[in-house]
Structure 1
Amino acid sequence: MLPATVPIWTVRKMDYNNDTKRLSRLAAILTILQTKRLLTASELAHKFSVSNRTIYRDIKALEQAGVPILTEDGKGYSLMEGYRIPPVMFTESEANALITAEQLILKNKDASFVKEYSEAINKIKSVLRNNTKDKANLLSDRTAFRQNAYNDRTSNYLSTLQLALTNFNFVRIKYHSPDTNQTTERTIEPFAIYSTQENWLLIAFCSLRKDFRAFRLDRIQNLTTLNEQFEPHKMTLQEYFEICKEKYFSQPLT
């Protein structure tokens, strides 16, 4: 019960602020549901710092608004396949972050990565408001990174390997090792991709070595994605790094 001295406009302002916060949260939940296949109420509650009960009410409100949300018992929420909302409008700060990332990626040494990101960022720019678009183009012209000054491209396999990784396709590569000056042909199971400054590395199970190996993309001379699929690895990337750390520290000192 509110004290009698509280002005009515204050109450209305409180209601307005609460409604605005909820509308923003509902829009954010809908956006997140588009980016992930399954989300639990606990995950959403943690992200928005609200209770699980609040999330239950939010999901019900979205369903009542006609959003086809599917509930899988014990697993979480997802959007019905094929459902899409109109393009998201970016704030000026969000657009600036994307433009800055674009300038950094343009310095990357993998040609396929640069090409795919450039095409994606063009689609993003197409939905920006005209005023924001002009500012984004200005920022693009005024942002520079000094690394890889000559825009060298040393590989062209990142996009292909990403598809092989997510679709669990075997890949055959011809790989050159400068240390031994040997070139070998291997069939590998792509597991993860990571970058050290400008060089991309692929972690994969190698049928030749019967173990996981890291391959630098700039040392792959030829690559073919095979139709055959392998069994997805249960190990996480973090678990892989922990195993590598244990192997490193268990080696005897010389």
Structure 2
Amino acid sequence: MEGDDIKRISRLTAILTQLQTKRRITAASLAEKFGVSTRTIYRDIKALERAGVPIMTEEGKGYNLMEGYRIPPIMFTERQANALILAEQLVLKNKDASFVQDYSEAIEKIKSILQYSTQDKANLLADRTQYDEAIHQERTSSNLSDLQNALTNYQLVRIQYINKEGIATERLIEPFAIISAENWYLIAWCRLREGFRFFRPDRIQHMVVLPDTFEPHNLTLQEYFEKYQ
């Protein structure tokens, strides 16, 4: 097989991955990502369609996979699997129990689709890689996963929150972003204060994700920092 053929097969596989992980993607963004012309991307998309991949084209908007279509599991390389195992140890240092549990369960699912030889090596590495301080890390909250879900589904959240002065208040908030510094922080629109506020998940004493939704805030995280910080 010629070098150009190998590059194209690799690119076609990568395009499939992009289509599976993004709701919609443009030919221009694919061309920039893979360092080829948009004409080449058009040919690649046609090749995938001829191979039976149901790609939907929205004029002027881009491409997406037909609803319900699933691509067979992507095979991780040994180095990629090793990176995931190491990342799991870093995640174990997190103080939020829900986040640690969800990530660990995701890693187990990823391990299940690895080729047997890579799977054995990944399990060996997991057994031989351990941070004691991570394993015994005290979990001070279990709110992060629910907050992530509320953020992506634009659901209102009612919380009982204690600030750094120890004052407790009840808030109705609209989750906007989650960032990490020394601790995790939630940026949310607070209806009590009528503005964006920072909240530490480990200071939330009680939380209820409501079925009610809010209108998404029409700005990026970068635009938020430029406007409010």
Give the TM bin, normalised by the shorter chain.
Answer: over 0.9
User: Which among 200, 212, 234 is matched to residue 196 of structure 2?
Assistant: 212
Looking at structure 1, the residues matched to 157 and 148 of structure 2 have their Cα atoms a distance apart, in angstroms, of 11
Aligned to 1:3: none
Indicate the percent of aligned positions where both proteins have the same amino acid. Answer: 65
Worse-matched range after superposition: 235-244 or 225-234: 235-244
> TM-score when scaled to structure 2?
0.96
User: Which among 127, 141, 144 is matched to residue 130 of structure 2?
Assistant: 144
Looking at structure 2, the residues matched to 194 and 51 of structure 1 have their Cα atoms a distance apart, in angstroms, of 36
Looking at structure 2, the residues matched to 148 and 121 of structure 1 have their Cα atoms a distance apart, in angstroms, of 17
Largest Rg, 1 or 2: 1
Looking at structure 1, the residues matched to 134 and 170 of structure 2 have their Cα atoms a distance apart, in angstroms, of 30
Structural mapping, 1:182-201, within 5 Å:
182-197=167-182, 199-201=183-185
Aligned to 1:227: 211
Task: Give unmatched runs, 5+ long, in structure 2.
Answer: none
Report the Cα offset of residue 244 of structure 1.
3.4
> TM-score when scaled to structure 1?
0.87
C-alpha root-mean-square deviation of aligned residues, in Å?
Answer: 1.3
Q: Which deviations, in whole Å up to 9, do the C-alpha atoms of 1:184-224 show, x marking residues without a partner?
A: 00000000011113x21110000111100000000000000
Aligned to 2:70: 84
Looking at structure 1, the residues matched to 87 and 54 of structure 2 have their Cα atoms a distance apart, in angstroms, of 34
Looking at structure 1, the residues matched to 191 and 146 of structure 2 have their Cα atoms a distance apart, in angstroms, of 20
- Does 2:104 correspond to 1:112? no
- Does 2:141 correspond to 1:155? yes
Looking at structure 2, the residues matched to 208 and 48 of structure 1 have their Cα atoms a distance apart, in angstroms, of 47
Report the Cα offset of residue 146 of structure 1.
6.3
**What is the identity, as a one-letter code, of the residue corresponding to 2:198?**
A
Looking at structure 2, the residues matched to 160 and 20 of structure 1 have their Cα atoms a distance apart, in angstroms, of 43
SS in 2 for 1:190: strand
Number of residue pairs matched by the alignment: 229
Worse-matched range after superposition: 148-157 or 166-175: 148-157
Task: Give unmatched runs, 5+ long, in structure 1.
Answer: 1-12, 246-254
Q: Which deviations, in whole Å up to 9, do the C-alpha atoms of 1:117-157 show, x marking residues without a partner?
A: 11110000011122211211222223234655631100101
SS in 1 for 2:187: strand
- Does 2:190 correspond to 1:241? no
User: Which among 171, 174, 177 is matched to residue 160 of structure 2?
Assistant: 174
Aligned to 1:249: none
Looking at structure 1, the residues matched to 7 and 135 of structure 2 have their Cα atoms a distance apart, in angstroms, of 45
Question: Where do 4+ consecutive residues of structure 1 move more than 2 Å?
Answer: 141-150
- Does 2:141 correspond to 1:121? no
Looking at structure 1, the residues matched to 185 and 219 of structure 2 have their Cα atoms a distance apart, in angstroms, of 18
